[in-house]
Amino acid sequence: MKIGILGTGMVGNAIGSKLVTHGYEVMMGSRSATNEKAAEFVKNAGKGASQGTFAEAAMYGEIVFNCTKGEVSMEVLKLAKEENLTGKILIDVANPLYFEKGAIPTLSVCNTDSLGETLQRNFPSVKVVKTLNTMNCNLMVNASLVPGDHDIFICGNDAAAKTKVETILRNDFGWEHILDLGDITNARATEMLLPIWIRLYGKFQSPNFNFHIAK
Amino acid sequence: MKIGILGTGMVGNAIGSKLVTHGYEVMMGSRSATNEKAAEFVKNAGKGASQGTFAEAAMYGEIVFNCTKGEVSMEVLKLAKEENLTGKILIDVANPLYFEKGAIPTLSVCNTDSLGETLQRNFPSVKVVKTLNTMNCNLMVNASLVPGDHDIFICGNDAAAKTKVETILRNDFGWEHILDLGDITNARATEMLLPIWIRLYGKFQSPNFNFHIAK
């Protein structure tokens, strides 16, 4: 299956590399078709990896991952163009973090809205599925990095799209416990886990932890 | 030890009843010194239980619990009067939930502030400790209601106050895993767990679950 990745940072690199390992063909998209970080990804990931603009990656992928920083996600999706994404699944792993010098990051949108909802509202022909946004990128693609039972949340308006995404989470990333919260409005609930995630990261001095709902 | 409880709802009742069982003397405070729900608490809890106004309960308690609804907490604390609480520990278990008909509750304050911080800022002579706010009231006072490992969060500016509260959590309510997040600004992080808590409650149709940080 062909996958488009928007964003050449650690998150896009972790997801893209893992998917290539599992036999997917992955195009990493960035502002420029010759982005150096994307070129390094292509070199390291090897056969099956390619690079292009945001629009080219969006056009290429049957499923597209939004791995950009939340603050630029809307802009990147506009560059990717809705016509290249119509009817496709957009897996939104981003968080609307607002970084201010010397302060713990806050959310630029929350409580009555979210980044996931913003993307769905602005690109109505795209099937936005919010998941993977409540953890570090190495854990995203390798659930066994944290021992014991722990959970991943998923939400989105299209049930069939969520089923497809769950298959990737399960088979390629090793997730056993997937909690479907319902439609995309639930994105605000998972994005609002970031404030405590950030504080726990500071406390533990390690990103290798995850939420588990004990019951 | 003498405990004051502000609020006669399910939360105040659960905490007060448990503490009386463990030998504490508990005064439940409300707007009126003859509140019917407080009277019922006194009748059911028996020896060691009493009732009074918010100000009387605040004066009575060596430690005081804020078990009011978040939307009235500031007003209740004003009625309780800072002079009755000066130097004392106020355990804030409330959440700033905003209820709108037909909608999932949102938070009236979050992200860059919280109810816990608001109380601490407005009553600087009181040692506000935020805890117990991320779960149902029956679980608050009986950690074993949910099987397996799961966690309770605590934060506040006064280390000695937190140590005292942790002793109650551990010895009286059965909490083994207590995560100290730091100062009271961390209250915003735990209050922001409410949106996902509410959704999980809807999904599970049971409040008998809790957060665990797996690592």
Nearest Cβ partner for A193 among B149, B188, B196: B196
**What would the mean pLDDT of A47-64 be, rounded to a whole number?**
98
Q: Do A195 and B112 touch (CB under 8 A)?
A: no
The full set of domain ranges for chain A reads 2-204
A188 interfaces chain B, CB cutoff of 8 Å: yes
Q: Do B193 and A193 touch (CB under 8 A)?
A: yes
B90 interfaces chain A, CB cutoff of 8 Å: no
- Greatest distance between any 2 Cα atoms in chain B: 49
Q: Do A214 and B213 touch (CB under 8 A)?
A: no
What pLDDT shows up at residue B89? 99
pLDDT tens-digit profile of A155-203?
999 999 999 999 999 999 999 999 999 999 999 999 999 999 999 999 9
Q: Do A192 and B190 touch (CB under 8 A)?
A: no
Q: Do B179 and A213 touch (CB under 8 A)?
A: no
Using a CB-CB distance cutoff of 8 angstroms, which residues of chain A are in contact with residue B193? 192-193, 196
Nearest Cβ partner for B149 among A189, A198, A214: A214
Pull the structure tokens for residue B94.
């409330």
- Residue B212, beta-bridge partner list: A212
Nearest Cβ partner for A181 among B146, B150, B203: B203
B196 interfaces chain A, CB cutoff of 8 Å: yes
pLDDT tens-digit profile of B56-105?
999 999 999 999 999 999 999 999 999 999 999 999 999 999 999 999 99
Superfamily of A2-204 according to CATH: NAD(P)-binding Rossmann-like Domain (3.40.50.720)
Nearest Cβ partner for A196 among B106, B190, B199: B190
d(CA B151, CA B32): 36
What pLDDT shows up at residue A47? 94
DSSP string, chain A: -EEEEE--SHHHHHHHHHHHHTT-EEEEEESSTT-HHHHHHHHHH-TTEEEEEHHHHHHH-SEEEE-S-GGGHHHHHHHH-GGGTTTSEEEE----EE--TTS--EESS-SS--HHHHHHHH-TTSEEEEESTTS-HHHHT-GGGS-S--EEEEEES-HHHHHHHHHHHHHTT---EEEEEESGGGHHHHHTTHHHHHHHHHHHTSS--EEEEE-
Q: Do A192 and B195 touch (CB under 8 A)?
A: yes
What pLDDT shows up at residue B124? 98
Contacts of A187 (CB under 8 A, 6+ apart): A92, A114, A115, A116, A117, A130, A155
pLDDT tens-digit profile of A117-153?
999 999 999 999 999 999 999 999 999 999 999 999 9
Pull the structure tokens for residue B66.
């804020």
d(CA A64, CA A92): 9
Q: Please check whether residue B191 is in contact with residue B114, taking contact to mean a CB–CB distance below 8 angstroms.
A: yes
Using a CB-CB distance cutoff of 8 angstroms, which residues of chain A are in contact with residue B143? none
pLDDT tens-digit profile of B15-41?
999 999 999 999 999 999 999 999 999
Q: Do A196 and B153 touch (CB under 8 A)?
A: yes
Shortest CA gap A194–chain B (Å): 8
What pLDDT shows up at residue A2? 98
B97 interfaces chain A, CB cutoff of 8 Å: no
Q: Do A182 and B200 touch (CB under 8 A)?
A: no
Q: Do A147 and B214 touch (CB under 8 A)?
A: yes
% of residues, chain A, pLDDT over 90: 100
